[in-house]
Structure 1
Amino acid sequence: MTTVRVRLTLIYSGLFLLTSVVLLVTVNLLLRQALRTRIAGFSSGPVAPVAPVAPQPGDLDVQRPQLPGLVDAVVDYQWGVTVLTIGILVLVSVVVGWLVAGRILRPVHRITATARRLSVSNLHERIALAGPKDELKELADTFDAMLDRLERSVEAQRRFIANASHELRTPLAVQRAAIEIGLPDDVGEIRDKLLLHNHRTENLIEALLVLAQAGHGLDNTRPVALDQVVRLVLAEGSSDGVTVTTRIEPFAVDGDPVLLNRLVTNLVDNAVRYNHPGGIVEVTLSRGVLTVRNTGPEVPQERFGDLFEPFRRLHTTREQGAGLGLSIVASIARAHGADVRASPNPGGGLELVVVFPAPPAGPLPAAEPAQDDRGRAPVGRTAGR
């Protein structure tokens, strides 16, 4: 596929060469015609002696046949020079056309580079193209205005998420305290059921807020030792009778430790929850590739497209989740520039793979315990597949 710069170079060079060739060919043809006309007139006219010595009859006959050959020699030399000149012009026109096209397209490259670099976390950047008010500057200013509107919209959504987090969690905490303290012991079954639904509602709201936070990008990032995050999750999690095997290599990720903790937690929780009693979960971290593989029921091929969609649940014999676990994983992975994919295991179960980008330069950092905004390590089962 040819680029715009190549097409502009070909257009500039083609127009320049076309006009040059037409000019040179026209000059050569006119020169040849003028020479032949002048020589023909000179040869047919009387020859007056200019010396006291009378010319011999054979001398004029010898000179006259040489004049047409002289015309052909001059014209042939001119055509040779023309061909050489056209060859040089080809090289010059291509180089000049390439440079001029690059100069003209430089603002477009700047716009493209800015658009590729932008994400939700750096919407404050602008193109701020300087120069004359032409079509390219109008395009850049329009793009900057669009970024202004988008940044305001994202900031409004972030404020809404923060306010909703407070407004939704506070009444649930009050309800839980009222249920635990206010209900008498003789309504224990009702009390337990209310606490169960209250806990599920808290988990659902927490999962939705995490999903919204990951979808709006990362505000502050720092190097995180992903291998230590994985070990922390496995140490604080519950296997529920499932055998967990690990193979973990040191690896650092530039990101948010809380969200990375939630990503690993949801992957491990999903592998444990959707498994057979006495099944196996394999957790591997090697060269930036986090793989969680489990035994369990077979996932229909037609349902693989629903795995990373919110509120999509697959059949299971265990406690149903909210259907947000893998959608949160996919959202957090995108926020960290990672790719996530799923594939079936022979005999049942899934293999979930998250491929992280190259680690930042420097030594691996020490991982801190990742906690949510309530001071709890997010290792509970908040949302299943």
Structure 2
Amino acid sequence: MRLTLVYGALLLLSGGGLVALVYFLVRESLYDRITRAVTGWVPALRLGEVPEGAVTSSPGPAATVAPPFSGCGSGSDCAVTRNGLSGAVEQATLNRLLTVSLVALALFALVSLVLAWWLAGRVLRPVGVIAETARRLSGENLHQRIALAGPPGELKRLADTFDEMLDRIEQLVSAQQRFAANAAHELRTPLAVQRAAAEIGLADPDPAQVARIRGKLLEVAGDSERLIEGLLLLSAADQGVERAEPVDLGRTVEEAVAGLAGEAERHEVTVAVDAAPLPVTGDPVLLHHLVENLVANAVRHNVPGGTVTVTAGPAGLVVRNTGPAVPPDVVPQLFEPFRRLKEREHKPGSGAGLGLSIVASITRAHGWTVAAEANAGGGLTVRVRP
């Protein structure tokens, strides 16, 4: 209704302005034109003559001259008669023009309101479709889309943007649901192992049995602790960078690789480092975890006798490893929490499947980019660009 009133008011103002302009222009020149026309009539009519070129009452051979004036006497009387006649004709013409214009303007206003209502309905129909779709959406039907058909325009672009936003929301909700389900599964497994060990293993008082179960419980507790630490780190990274300061990423690479030397030795993997000074600005703790997770992931998902190459320089951070072949279509999924190339093997050092998801979260928090690609001979290459 408001849009209709605005359209109608604009059209009415335009029509009123047009009427006022026409009335003003006609009034400015009408009197002079009437006076010039009457000037040739008044003296001639006094003698009963018709000036050459004068307009008769009707065209054709049977035309008759308009009824003559009875006379105007002297020259001054003729001027008064001429001026009076011109003024009367001018006023009658202007009154008629104003009356017709106002009637036409009233009809124009009525038509304008009807057209404005129809136009507003057509223009706002996509908005109603968008609003109705948004009202219907919930967690169970996020797959629905507006899919507005029509020529390109602002509202078509708005509907397409809304559909793209729904795509992102659906992906985020699906990722959260998978994350919750996987986290529950990952936490339930060690709890079940602990319960079984406590109920079955400790039922036998044999000291050797108790010592073995104790070691198993400690191992499972360590896995659970690392999983919880990974979830807390992932949550902290998702909240963004709270403390940013200058950091030499090349030095961070050297420190992280040195801290993982023992794990690389256990997996029989050789780690080669080529780290040049790479000054960046960020959270030093999160950046250390970023490098540590990248290198640890490259070491764990490798083959005996494999290699890991870590390069830091102007092009960013690049971690390349050997290992099993990775299908290219699976590579983007590896950045999601608990996503692995193979099912998890519950053994020491197998990891919880959070390494690359933590890397992705930390890079997003710093405004950086991370990308991965499968190597032709097996393994993965991950590039982080500040």
Give the shorter-chain TM-score range: 0.3 to 0.5
TM-score, length of structure 1 as denominator length: 0.47
Tell me the TM-score normalized by structure 2. 0.47
Query: Larger relative contact order (C-alpha < 8 A, sep ≥ 6)?
Result: 1
Q: Considering only CA atoms, is the larger Rg found in Structure 1 or Structure 2?
A: 2
